[in-house]
Amino acid sequence: MIKNRYLIVILLLFSGNTLLAQVPAWGGGADLTDLSFGFTFSYVSNYYKIDKKPNWRAPFFDQGVNRYITDSLKSIGSKNSSGFAVGFITRYSLTDHLEVRATPSLVFADRSISYTYPNPANNVTKLIQSTSVDFPLEFKLKSDRIGNMRAYILGGAKYTLAIGSKKNADAGLDPLDKLVKNVGGFGSYEAGLGCDIYFEFFKLSPEIKISNSLGNVLVPENQPYSSPISKLGLHTIMFSLYFE
């Protein structure tokens, strides 16, 4: 009789653990209301897509000194540059599987363009220092929840506004010291995927997203580093962690 009681207690303990393991975490109540808030940290990687003018290789003629001040170009390219972003989340559920999300973020991510010439000593890399505020508006399509996870895809658009930049920062500089400038604001389209992971007190969403700018982000100027380029487009990859 005593052995049977011990057996019953052991069975109840194992059954209780199994039942508790099957109870889904509530994620701090993030999905219990239509409207919720949170914050995000992101790693940012970006580079320029460069459209060159037909005569982009031609040396630059400086009318001020009445002579050519550069050699013929061999190549123009843009390597990946990295940075980071911090932001906030405002999420509103439209249905059980569709929500709209705004994630304004402060982005610190420089960009660069490299120019190579026949003489390697003349090679130049122009750094475009950038601090900006992103204003994305996205639609998030979610799968059914399986345990404490659910997958999603998203798409939308954003507007990027540069802050702290000066239009005439290189005024009075020698043409070879001029900066490559970007427009103060531009739009982009975005697409990405991720998953929601539910913990007891919060919801964590790892996400990867790409964006491509619309139009031309280059400010055209008659100087050695802007003149060979007809159009600049910005390609960005962001890996983010969202906390709600």
Beta pairing class for 81-93 and 105-109: antiparallel
Across the strands, what pairs with 86?
A: 41, 106
Per-residue model confidence (pLDDT) at position 43: 97
Asked, for residue 20, whether it belongs to a domain, the answer is no
Higher pLDDT, 5 or 20: 5
Asked, for residue 10, whether it belongs to a domain, the answer is no
* Torsion angle, alpha carbons of 172, 176, 180, 181, to 10: 10
d(CA 37, CA 31): 10
Domain total in the chain: 1
Asked, for residue 203, whether it belongs to a domain, the answer is yes
The whole-model pTM stands at 0.84
Asked, for residue 197, whether it belongs to a domain, the answer is yes
- Dihedral sign of CA atoms 217, 49, 103, 192 in order: positive
| Over residues 185-202, mean pLDDT | 95
Those residues whose C-beta lies under 8 Å from the C-beta of residue 21, and which sit 6 or more positions away, are none
Using CA atoms, how far residue 105 sits from 39, 134, 139, 196, in Å, is 9, 5, 17, 20
d(CA 150, CA 30): 14
* Nearest residue to 140 (alpha-carbon basis) of 198, 93, 206, 88: 93
Asked, for residue 11, whether it belongs to a domain, the answer is no
pLDDT per residue over 41-88, tens digit each?
999 999 999 999 999 999 999 988 899 999 999 999 999 999 999 999
Asked, for residue 189, whether it belongs to a domain, the answer is yes
Least confident of 5-9, 47-51, 94-98, 239-243: 5-9
- DSSP-assigned letters across all residues of 165-199: --TTTTTT--GGGPPP-B-SEEEEEEEEEEEEEE-
Across the strands, what pairs with 41?
A: 86, 241
| Over residues 132-161, mean pLDDT | 95
Match 């997958």 to its residue by tokens: 151
If phi > 0 it is left, if psi is from -120 to 50 it is alpha, else beta; for residue 164 that is left
DSSP class of residue 28 equals G
Match 């209301």 to its residue by tokens: 33
- pLDDT higher than threshold 80 for residue 93: yes
DSSP class of residue 9 equals H
CATH code of the domain containing 175: 2.40.160.20
Confidence class for position 25, pLDDT limits 50, 70, 90? confident
What residues make up the domain containing 217? 27-243
Asked, for residue 168, whether it belongs to a domain, the answer is yes
Asked, for residue 6, whether it belongs to a domain, the answer is no
Per-residue model confidence (pLDDT) at position 196: 95
